[in-house]
Structure 1
Amino acid sequence: MNIIPFQSPDFSVRVVEIDGEPWFVGKDVAEALGYEEPGNAIRQHCRGGAKYTPISDSLGRKQETRVISEPDLFRLVVNSQLPSAEKFERWVFEEVLPSIRKTGGYQVAAAPVKQATEALKLTPLAVRAARAFGLDKNAAAISANQFVHKLTGVNLLENFGNTHLVAQNQDALFFTPTELGKMMGGLSGQKVNLLLAGAGLQAKVGEHWKPLDAGKDFARLYDTGKKHSDGVPVQQVKWSDTVLPLLKQEEVA
């Protein structure tokens, strides 16, 4: 059994490799997330079957220690009231897990069915977290799909035959990046464009911004009545204000 300690200036978590998969010491996770009674938190929020493994304590004694899976770790994150829970989540999923995969701590190329199963388990939790951040249903679904795709390599929307979701409010008003910036406390249009790009909603093609598949639910193209030097009509991209929660999330990331 391979025990891997991970530490940052703010958190410390031990990860145990069991049958080629990472399991987290439940007490470490619960304490990092500010739960006053780690044992109760694990029993209340974790749905996976109780799993214990012998781990040496500070005196070298073997103690049967509760470990939890990735989905259960995410459940503890979602239910934590600690302001730094989001920071802990980013640390685990952007640094700890990629480090384990990179160093061969457990299998990187899991079977497709296994990967899809993990994606299906994580998606409802990711949607719940996105909704907690203030995103509407479709924005939460898009964000959750992007998060799970990044984590597992499985794009569930694409596999279900949907490259995008239809906007909930087709009559929503659409605004320029400059107008959105004013709604966000006076950000410049340039800054908003960078946030849109950082959120994976648009990309720059030549001198112009173009909505990506993930952004098409929020964007509309408008004819400005002008033409480029080659005669092609100049179009302006405007965005629904429903994109604001995504931009605010990107701003604090």
Structure 2
Amino acid sequence: MSTVELFTYEDVQDVRVVRDVEGDPEFVAADVCRMLDHSNPSAAVAGLDEDEKGLRNVETPSGTQQMVTVTEAGLYSLIIRSRKPEAKAIKRWITHDVLPAIRKTGSYGTTPVERLTPLEYAKRLVDAEQRAESGQQFRRAIEAGDGITLTAFHKKYFSAIRERDFFTHLYVKKWLINQRGKGSMRTDGPRAGTRRDGSEHRHPTFKGKPYMYLHGSKADGDHRRENTRVRPGQYELQLRDRLVAEGLPANENTCGLFELERAH
């Protein structure tokens, strides 16, 4: 039986949260969809990947019921698809209040109080302002470009793991299409008799398209070369956050900015 934690958004919307076997939070889908004004919760949840949803036994006033739940990654997907003007504020509440408190103390609303001297408080305030400025410069630099390649994205945020493992994660979690060795047969050269990769290999899937796109350029006459790039701006940061939520370890040099954006 999953223990239910009840969170209330702006004293109006209640959202129930349970834990999976590893202790990670899962959100009752019906509560989330109601909060985000998804008119058809079943359709909204059906659009999620299989690893973004599940079934949990939840204790209710009328007894134990089996309910559809969504993971943290699934929650982000539902927020992105919501047309409710308050969706951004709801995401801020989840990422800035609920999740950090759960990860820090094991439950919402029980963050231990730390007593600071006036000098310590002033130093913390200066440090926070400096980190905030660094975070703003970081985001402006991202928004100024036309997106980075996935290889550059890996080096920027997830170089603690091998590039091969990074791309394997993107294939397994259905961010990218995997057509390795599914293209036409090579007829000459040292690799004759082997198959090329399929024409859509490493292209973004339906799940990946909100965060990635095909960047094309013409080469060799009319032949168009395309490579997958991460969309600039908030999409780059959102993709990083979702991959972290799926278990990928972020680089230490970006973890501070990751926590900073959650705290502001």
- Alignment TM-score, normalising by the size of structure 2: 0.44
By relative contact order (CA 8 Å, sep 6+), the higher-ranking structure is 2
Higher strand fraction (1 or 2): 1
